[in-house]
Structure 1
Amino acid sequence: MARVVERERKYSGDEEFRLPDLTGCGGVVTTSDATTHDLDAVYLDTPDLRLARSGFALRRRTGGHDAGWHLKVGAAGGARTEYQFPAGPEDTDPPAGLAVLFRAAARGGPVAPAARIVTRRRERRLLDAAGRVLAEVAEDSVEARDLVSGERQGWHELEVELVDGGEALLDAVDARLREAGARAVPVSKSQRALGRRLAAARPAPADPRAAPVLDYLADQRDALIANYPGAWGGDEDAVHDMRVAGRRLRSTLRTFRGLWDRSESEALRAELSWLGGQLGPVRDTQVMAVRLAEAVRAEPDELVLGPVAARLAERFAADLATALGDLRAALDSDRCTDLLRRLDALVEGPTARPVDARWVGRRVRRAVTRADRRLDRALAAGADDAALHEARKAYKRARYAVEVREPAVGGPVGRLVGRLKELQDQLGAHQDSVVTREVLRRQALRAYADGENTFTYGILHARQAAGADRDVPALVRAAERARKRKVRRWLKG
């Protein structure tokens, strides 16, 4: 299976639109002659179009230079990850290696043909002075049919996809195309083909007054699903983002728990905690491996006694392999898909009680106040490690609660979110030092048992402790900035 990151922009124009000369855009010196391809793609989805609703596109395509099975993840117009798998002449079902990547988006359900799109493509390459291909420009004549409703559509569109060029090239081409009358297209071909059914499949808010909370939950659920394929592959950013989305979901269910049936929301929080427990060891191992490798490299050679770097690398490689295997087993389980279905029901179903903006605001203020008290107690106790860690978790919950209000309040919320993030990062740096010291202590015990020199582990441990002591004054300053009256004034409204 191949994995590529697709960076493209899509445009449409009226019947008089003609592709302008793109030489001079972002280093483009010349444009190749056009080549023509006939592409025929069948898109598959669940009956309720869960893949399309989650920003996934699954297709089997013939024609072109990359015929086969494709799974695209991400919104049109931005960076999208595409997973490519070869297809046999008689294949009608996605290969197992690809199916596992959209299991979460499909909620474990079956997929079937949903749309067919036939494209006549005229493709040109944008080249620099050295002959490098900076981007490809495709003029597409599209015929689409919804295979369920039978609706047919036809349109023309333009795609500009980066190859070796950068975002500056896309911006320059964008300006030239807009001058010629092109308009940006915000949706993919498959979403356009399924437009009517897709609009009907999206549920309306059960309670518009609860929309800030429900929309935030829906965004985090979607982030959880969008990062599923990358997390399966062990991608560091995807594992991190999926873990954060899970934390935001748990926190929101706790802060606004009166909005749903208590037993169900608490059970769902427990399941999200289980999923976080599978993501955590992968992410923590990845972070710790980099952190300690950099720490060893920063030491003078004369202070690195024994095979410290090699032993740490061996340990983290083994730990990561075990953690990733456990994570994949969890992601591919019925428990995970059941969690997502229950989350859908909570996000899209009726709420347990009516709410208003004041109800939401009170709970946001309560979360922020609770975090302040936790930090005050921790500092009064002499910056106790465990108490600071509890304060860090409380500030995460406070920040996520404040984020719920950002669409309605705007800039003032963004400023407080930024200050809370700064404070959270300071607390995180302290906790990272605590965890790192424990890892070093255990590794030193292993080295001692193996008859190896433990001197360097002691040096690294001491440096981590000294850094933690220096973190406390910076933490106090960050707390003062986060508590300024002008930053928090909107919380009283």
Structure 2
Amino acid sequence: MSSRKRGRGSARHRASSKAASEQRLSQHRAVTWQVAELLRWDRAVHADVKDSVHQMRVTTRTIRSLLEASGATLGPVGDPSVTDELRWLATLLGRARDAEVLAERYTRTIDDLPMHLVRGPIRQRLSDACRREYSTGWQLSVSAMRSDRYFRLLEELRAVCAAAPPSSQRGAKRMVAAGYERVRKRVKAAGHADPAHRSAALHAIRKSAKRLRYTAAAVGAQSVSKAAADVQVLLGDHQDSVVSQAYLITQADDACAAGEDTFTYGLLYCMESDRAQRCEQGLDDCLKSLDAAVHGT
């Protein structure tokens, strides 16, 4: 091989190594930034600041998605892992957050209904129930955030931020491709799911799309991140409708037992069912846009 060819090959190798190093640094910075945000929202949740539970849960999930996608050993090695503990924290925050979502959803929907379709004390019943559920969820979250388990998680996250970006991380394209393949597998599984498990299968697509969204954003693949976010938001609306339908049945049963008019509960249930169907109908277009973004077409 001529010295000129060897020189060109060496230059390409250096350029490739530099790009990979920059990608690793970008991912590490993204995790470090999100951990700082987690600590900020920690204080806000303790103070019960509006929307703080939501923001802390989003941040927790973002960190977990970034760590899972990195494929590197992160933080102290142990059982349970950092990502498992982040899942635990997000689940805890989820109870209060779900109550917030339902309260906002019902307030908006009932306000938009003609007055003659709002029967019985449904507004108060739903509002009071969501408020109680939020309070319980918030208290459980704050209690957990004062535990040794939570403080160990924070120490592990600080260790991740303090460590140098690992040299064994995969390249950006491979990480995005792997994330997209995970989405495709979930889509295929949903296509074969029976009606009883359809909602769970769609929720699995959402979680994979969310992970791809944050991974793509961390490595600079903004078009992929945006397309994945569209899938995530669409299926998030679907999941909210599924949760709402189950909740409305429970509240309607309580209202019926109390001798209250349950007409509006049935109306809201039908509206939620229609929303879920519209989300499913819009999924194909979102997935096509995601495929085009991944393949650059």
TM-score, normalised by the number of residues in structure 1: 0.52
Partner of 1:363: 175
The alpha carbon displacement at 1:264 in A equals 3.5
Residue 267 to residue 420, structure 1, CA distance change in 2 (3 Å):
same
- Residue 102 of structure 2 corresponds to residue 307 of structure 1: no
Residue 212 to residue 377, structure 1, CA distance change in 2 (3 Å):
same
Query: Whole-Å Cα distance in 1 between the matches of residues 38 and 60 of structure 2?
Result: 7
Partner of 1:425: 233
Query: Whole-Å Cα distance in 2 between the matches of residues 357 and 272 of structure 1?
Result: 22
The alpha carbon displacement at 1:238 in A equals 2.3
The alpha carbon displacement at 1:350 in A equals 5.3
Partner of 1:328: 142
The alpha carbon displacement at 1:455 in A equals 1.7
**After the TM superposition, which of the residue ranges 334-343 and 220-229 deviates more from structure 2?**
334-343
SS at match of 2:81: helix
Query: Whole-Å Cα distance in 1 between the matches of residues 212 and 100 of structure 2?
Result: 27
* Structure 1 counterpart of 2:253, from 437, 445, 455: 445
- Residue 294 of structure 2 corresponds to residue 488 of structure 1: yes
- Residue 278 of structure 2 corresponds to residue 470 of structure 1: yes
Tell whether the 8 Å contact from 1:209 to 1:356 is kept in structure 2 after alignment.
no
Whose strand proportion is higher, 1 or 2?
A: 1
Query: Whole-Å Cα distance in 1 between the matches of residues 131 and 278 of structure 2?
Result: 31
Aligned letter for 2:266? G
CA deviations on 1:125-166 (whole Å, 9 max, x unpaired) are: xxxxxxxxxxxxxxxxxxxxxxxxxxxxxxxxxxxxxxxxxx
Aligned letter for 1:422? D
- State how 1:92-241 maps to structure 2 within 5 Å: 210-241=24-55
Tell whether the 8 Å contact from 2:72 to 2:169 is kept in structure 1 after alignment.
no
The alpha carbon displacement at 1:218 in A equals 0.7
CA deviations on 1:436-489 (whole Å, 9 max, x unpaired) are: 1011011111112222222211111011111211222222111111211xx224
Tell whether the 8 Å contact from 1:257 to 1:265 is kept in structure 2 after alignment.
no
CA deviations on 1:231-267 (whole Å, 9 max, x unpaired) are: 2222233222211111011122222233337944852
Aligned letter for 2:276? A
Tell whether the 8 Å contact from 1:385 to 1:434 is kept in structure 2 after alignment.
yes
Partner of 2:152: 338
Residue 269 to residue 356, structure 1, CA distance change in 2 (3 Å):
closer
SS at match of 1:305: coil
Partner of 1:90: none
Query: Whole-Å Cα distance in 2 between the matches of residues 224 and 427 of structure 1?
Result: 25
Query: Whole-Å Cα distance in 1 between the matches of residues 211 and 170 of structure 2?
Result: 19
Query: Whole-Å Cα distance in 1 between the matches of residues 274 and 267 of structure 2?
Result: 11
Aligned letter for 2:285? R
Query: Whole-Å Cα distance in 1 between the matches of residues 185 and 22 of structure 2?
Result: 33
SS at match of 2:51: helix
Query: Whole-Å Cα distance in 1 between the matches of residues 75 and 39 of structure 2?
Result: 24
Partner of 2:16: none
Tell whether the 8 Å contact from 2:62 to 2:211 is kept in structure 1 after alignment.
yes
Query: Whole-Å Cα distance in 2 between the matches of residues 260 and 220 of structure 1?
Result: 15
Partner of 2:73: 259
Query: Whole-Å Cα distance in 1 between the matches of residues 148 and 78 of structure 2?
Result: 18
Tell whether the 8 Å contact from 1:228 to 1:242 is kept in structure 2 after alignment.
yes
Query: Whole-Å Cα distance in 1 between the matches of residues 173 and 156 of structure 2?
Result: 26
Tell whether the 8 Å contact from 2:75 to 2:159 is kept in structure 1 after alignment.
no
The alpha carbon displacement at 1:354 in A equals 2.8
Residue 373 to residue 243, structure 1, CA distance change in 2 (3 Å):
same
* Structure 2 counterpart of 1:279, from 93, 101, 116: 93
Partner of 1:294: 108
CA deviations on 1:311-365 (whole Å, 9 max, x unpaired) are: 11111121122222222222233332221111111221257x632663x532331
SS at match of 1:259: coil
The alpha carbon displacement at 1:373 in A equals 2.4
Residue 213 to residue 264, structure 1, CA distance change in 2 (3 Å):
farther
Structure 1, unpaired ranges of 5+: 1-206, 407-412
SS at match of 2:260: coil
| Structure number with larger C-alpha Rg | 1
Q: Percent identity?
A: 29
Whose helix proportion is higher, 1 or 2?
A: 2
The alpha carbon displacement at 1:490 in A equals 6.2
Partner of 1:354: 167
